[in-house]
Amino acid sequence: MLRRLVQQASIRRHISNSYYFNSHLSAPSSSPPSLVRKCCLSSSSSSSTQIPNSSFVEQLDEANQTGPEASATISIDRSGLYNPPEHSHEPSSDSELVKHLKGIIKFRGGPISVAEYMEEVLTNPKAGFYINRDVFGAQGDFITSPEVSQMFGEMIGVWAMCLWEQMGQPSTVNLVELGPGRGTLMADLLRGASKIRKFTESLHVHLVECSPTLQKLQHRNLKCVDEDTTTISGLARTPVSWHAGLEQVPSGLPTIVVAHEFYDALPIHQFQRTSRGWCEKMVDVAEDSTFRFVLSPEPTPATLYLAKRCKWARTEEITKLDQIEVCPKAMELTQTIAERISSDGGGALIIDYGLNGMVSDSLQAIRKHKFVNILDDPGSADLSAYVDFASIRHSAEEVSGDVSVHGPIIQSQFLGSLGINFRVEALLQNCTDEQAESLRTGYWRLVGEGEAPFWEGPNEEVPIGMGSRYLAMAIVNKKQGVPVSFQ
């Protein structure tokens, strides 16, 4: 008897609830009372799988009131629900860096900037392109000027020595190289300057390098010996120190900074002109789990740097561009350099490929000396972009009135004024035929333009001159006058 009373009470409660929802949410019908509820699921983030609009229907069948054993039943229509693919326990083919990048995008709930993608790809502590490998030279992914010929490092040494003399030959000088690669440039500089003992004895070399692998190569190529708490280069008996950033280099001393092919690896933000204004290009994960470019629907923090860069440009320079690249880290680094030169004296030499104006869509990826897709297999290729030398000039001049900026001038003009022509002639007088061929090839790569006219080897190996592609710029303390090569 008690069981029957409970069942009847349950039936009356279901019937009462169904009539309440039916009277408030649906039109009168002769069919049994029912509750229809639709839930639309969607995702606004392009990084997530787009879930189609779906609905589910809860059907409450009215209980049969005639029989004492009648009961209420609920049926659910799930045909419209999104069914994700079954989870696989098979190991993923993604590299650790790819998993890391996808994890960042998933955690953010949306795409990341090109700058953040670039920074992770190049300098991620565990899997960055520069961190755990030697990427320079013929066996690496690309060749830089110091790897082409010893004459490049020697000429940089001449420039540094001339600046030291303009500074009044101080007894102690910080010689800083940003991103020294294998240490080839610094090794050639010290070896070539070793005969000028007063100059080399004044130097303390500071190498700004984040890669443990390259630090070891630099230690070896500079013939370093660890003596107590000091590391000494055997090339010129010069102390050497390593730092993760320029701000860690001790201040208070005259400083000479060399940045060769360093600025081009600093992360850039890309903006594209659209009907709603400038939108930042971002990196997202597509439905097939590959990376893709998307545009930000709203202004991003980097838009402030875009506005700053546009303020420095002429209107006609901006109107002809559909894409613009800005490099906040280059602006900040330049300001740090300018502030130090202003307070401590000295100068900075910047050599890189780029433009003396706004840069548009120059980001590129190089793997094993060939151009590849920027988003393909992150961490396996070098990423770089053209350097905006005009932005460097404005950044330096904005932060201090005590510094002057000179250039940019093309690399062939810079090296020619330092005497590279005389140097190659001197070297050719005392070398083998094989060495002579290497010298001529290296010389052409540094100062020539286009394909070498004297080349008789395979067409795919013809030396290409970088003399006009690379630009040189100097930032110096005004007290020291105009630096050599820029006079």
Across all residues in the chain, what is the average pLDDT?
83
Residue 439 lies in a domain: yes
Q: What is the per-residue pLDDT across 266-290, written as a single tens digit (0 to 9) for each? A: 999 999 999 999 999 999 999 999 9
Instruction: Give 236 or 54, the one with higher predicted confidence.
Output: 236
Q: Among 55, 65, 60, which residue's Cα sits nearest to residue 20?
A: 60
pLDDT at 23: 36
The Cα–Cα gap between 221 and 187 comes to 7
Domain count across the chain = 1
* CA–CA distance, 109 with 45 (Å, rounded to integer): 7
Distance (Å) of CA 77 to CA 14, 57, 58? 20, 5, 7
Q: What are φ and ψ of residue 101, in 5° steps?
A: -65, -45
- Is the bond preceding 408 in cis, omega lying within 30 degrees of 0? yes
pLDDT of residue 94: 86
Helices (H), 196-313: 197-202, 212-221, 303-312
Instruction: Report the percent of the chain where pLDDT is more than 70.
Output: 78
Is 70 exceeded by the pLDDT of residue 216? yes
- The answer to the question of residue 179 being in a domain is yes
pLDDT tens column, 126-149: 888 887 665 454 444 445 677 778
Domain CATH number, residue 393: 3.40.50.12710
Average pLDDT over residues 16-45: 36
Q: Is residue 292 part of a domain?
A: no
Q: Is residue 72 part of a domain?
A: no
User: How far from chain centre, in Å, is Cα 203?
Assistant: 31
Domain span at residue 400 reads 113-264+323-486
Closest CA to 189 of 470, 180, 400: 180
C-beta separation of 246 from 208 below 8 A = yes
Q: What is the pLDDT of residue 249?
A: 97
Burial class (CB in 10 A: 0-12, 13-18, 19+), 168: exposed
Residue 408 is assigned to a structural domain of this protein: yes
**Radius of gyration of the chain, Cα coordinates, nearest whole angstrom:** 33
Determine the average pLDDT of the residues in 227-251.
95
In a domain, 354, yes or no: yes
For the cut 80, the answer to whether the pLDDT of residue 66 exceeds it is no
Give me the pLDDT at residue 134, please: 55
Model confidence, pTM: 0.79
Q: How far apart are CA 188 and CA 45, in angstroms?
A: 52
Query: Where does residue 477 rank: exposed (0-12), middle (13-18), buried (19+ CB within 10 A)?
Result: buried
3-state SS of 10-51? HHHHHHHHHHHHHHHHCCCCCCCCCEEECCCCCCCCCCCCCC
Confidence of residue 168 (pLDDT cuts 50, 70, 90): very high
Burial of 100 (0-12, 13-18, 19+ CB in 10 A): middle
Mean pLDDT value of segment 215-219: 95
Tokens of 189: 């500089």
- Residue 149 in tokens: 């010929």
Phi-psi region at 447: left, alpha or beta (left = phi > 0; alpha = psi -120 to 50): alpha
Of 297, 295, 298, 287, nearest to 52 by C-alpha is: 287
Split at pLDDT 50, 70, 90, the class of 459 is confident
387-400 pLDDT, tens digit per residue, is 999 999 999 999 99
Instruction: Classify 140 as helix, strand or coil.
Output: coil
